[in-house]
Amino acid sequence: MKLISRLLAASVMALAIGSAAEARPFTAKDMVTLDRVGDPRVSPDGRYVIYARRVADYDANKAKTELWLIDLSGKTPAAPRLLDVSAGGGVSSARWGADGHSIYFLSSRGGSMQVWRGDVGVAGAGQVTKLPFDVGGFQTSRDGRKLLVTMAVFPDCPTLQCTTDRMAARTAKKTTGVVHDRLFIRHWDEWADGTRNQLFVLTFDEKGVTADSPVAVMHGFDGDTPSKPFGDETEFTFSPDGKEVVFSARLAGKTEAWSTNFDIYGAPADGSGQLTNYSEANKAWDTGAVYSPDGRFIAYRSMKRPGFEADRWQIGIHDETTGKDRELAPDWDRSADAIAWAPDGRTIYATAQDVGQTRLFAIDVKTGKVTPLTGAGHVSGFDVGPKGIVYAQDDLDSPAQLFSIGFKRGARPVQLTNANADKLAGVEFGGYEQFSFPGWNGETVHGYLVKPVGFDPSKTYPVAFLIHGGPQGSFGNLFHYRWNAQTYAGAGYAVVMIDFHGSTGYGQAFTDAISQHWGDRPLEDLQKGWDHALKSYSFLDGDRACALGGSYGGYMVNWIAGNWNAPWKCLVNHDGIFDARFMGYSTEELWFSEWENGGTPWTAGTTYSTFNPADHVGNWTTPMLVVHGGRDYRVPLEEGIATFTALQRRGVESKLLYFPEENHWVLKPQNSVQWHDEVLGWLDAHTKPQ
């Protein structure tokens, strides 16, 4: 598959470039202006695939999403074409109707986010819902007669008008004080307003439009579906007969900020009955219910340890006939990111991180045998049709493209898109390779080396040493839109990235190893990985290197500043933790800090003080650039200000780059370019001759 992808890309590139002399390096502006392909959806008959294509408007500092379609019915797939339904405003969450030719999608072209409907063969689109609040997500029933939508309302309100009136009363008040009596007063980048994401069912009439009065199926439930801030439509669905709504949610109460106990609930679609908790026995996370084609089984993802957000996602199978549950492939030491059934119900497909890659796997429902379907690269999404699977895949030197693969054993993937061929014409990427070495406890640790653009083996190059966040994450073989290694390679840097203990995709024990060990085991891996890279790649200039990281990576940069600053000419800390104990009191998702440190900040025997960067400021001497977002409530702004204060007070060369409207990430295109300009300028000032 990788070979096919590279041959296609190479042929297009050869035509566009003409000669190697015309090649230019990849830049941050290239990155933020690329079209982003994803969310493929196969039509019920398998003839078409629709997908989303995010298009950036750099001058306007925003982006919109278009819908594209590919006809798969010929001997070779047709060229993608822009669907007419994209006209008149951005679209998202496009899904096929039960009839196989209508397409439902979300759009705000009417003034608020509502469900719209178009047709493959008909120009234009019609508005389906006209609800008083934005629709956050939707699902249609298998028979196409019902529509399930989610809206943010006050859960105790018996009607939508009640929520409207309450919001109007708030706006009319001349006072601005807000009273809270529970945590999650703010989450990710928003302050709580008392509303909850709730599910409503609408029924199509003979004209194909929905009834005026949606039925509340979660009325009074103190929780959100989809979950905040990153939940989606995989957290709710109809039963095959459309009579029940099944969803995942966490009961909030007073414990929401330190609980990961999401359960799978069922509710009558007509709103006539009580909720049923189908996973009450498991006090950890349950989500993602997916019915088998015959409706007998429900597959779902489940964790086992309460309070741990990075536990292994196992796949559970619930038998509706017997009422029994079992784990599918219990010996498969990987964590399933997304799951879907094969048309015959004999196989479940899943994506999972795997030794620096994110692959698509086929799992036999009867035997639990796991077979990888893709090789090197990062599968970011997929959909199963009647004839095969369509998936999106990217890697370290290619943004996502769509591929299709049949069900037959040995089937080879076919590339369906070549998005950004024009924008990347003449662009040269740095070559890359994966390496491994003995890390903490003698265990194998992996990393990636990306060569600078225009690499000359007779020369030496400055190094950007990138440290990933999470900490249960990975800087693997993927095309990242915030920490993209090619932006550094394009600026003349070699890039080294280590998947230290705590990283995902190497087995759950490897991931678990970082909890309560933030400052020792991963630091040992980073140190040994750095030594290994210097010995293995003679073109790395160890005297011209800077370490950079965000979130946990920013924490590690602060930790390095006090415990391993010798190799580094400069440091970059993006939204990193300065004081672990204060973080335990000020972050919103308390379960994270409490699990990672072994308890609350006032509990004896925890690691808040054991690995606290604030306690090692006396050793700080390395120049540091500090970056923080004003709407970052995961790692609050005060952590960045404290870092900058410590640096300035100690007389260490330092700068603070502050983005008032950005959250834990820098998302606006022009802000991202500014971020890269400042970061690369900082690296250049400390590693390159002036």
Give catalytic residues, as residue numbers.
Answer: 551, 632, 664
Closest CA to 110 of 95, 125, 97: 125
Quick one: which of 377, 479, 420 has its CA closest to 9?
A: 420
Contacts of 9-16 with CB under 8 Å at 24 or more apart are: 9/398, 9/418, 9/421, 12/418, 12/421, 12/425, 13/421, 13/424, 13/425, 16/421, 16/422, 16/425, 16/426
Bond prior to 226 in cis (omega within 30° of 0):
yes
Three-class secondary structure of residue 351 per DSSP: strand
Compute the distance between CA of residue 351 and CA of residue 535 in angstroms, rounded to an integer: 35
Provide the CA 679 distance to its chain's centre, in angstroms: 23
- The whole-angstrom distance between residue 448's C-alpha and the CA centroid of its chain comes to 21
Distance between CA atoms of 6 and 11, rounded to whole angstroms?
8
Structure tokens at 495: 């890039």
| SS3 sequence of 380-396 | EEEEECCCEEEEEEEEC
Q: Quick check: 536 and 646 in contact, CB under 8 A?
A: no
Question: Which stretches does DSSP call E strand in 8-133?
Answer: 24-25, 36-42, 48-57, 62-71, 81-82, 91-96, 102-107, 114-119, 122-127
Contact between 548 and 466 under an 8 Å Cβ cutoff? The reply is: yes
Alpha-carbon separation of residue 378 from 401, 475, 675 (angstroms) = 11, 11, 25
Amino acid letter, 559: W
Q: How many CB atoms lie within 10 A of CB 222?
A: 15
Q: Are 510 and 530 in contact (CB under 8 A)?
A: no
Q: Is 183 within 8 Å of 191 (Cβ atoms)?
A: no
Could you tell me how many residues make up the chain? Answer: 690
Q: What is the CA radius of gyration of the chain?
A: 25
Q: Cβ contacts of residue 212 below 8 Å, gap of 6+?
A: none
Contact 418, 424 (CB under 8 A): no
Strand partners, 353: 358
Quote the DSSP letter at residue 210.
B
- Nearby residues of 20 by Cβ (< 8 Å), 6 or more positions away: none
Tokens (6 digits) for 28: 């941050």
DSSP labels, 498-563? EE-TT-SSS-HHHHHTTTT-TTSHHHHHHHHHHHHHHHH-TTEEEEEEEEEEETHHHHHHHHHHHH
Strands (DSSP E) contained in 177-240 are 186-187, 190-191, 196-203, 215-216, 236-238
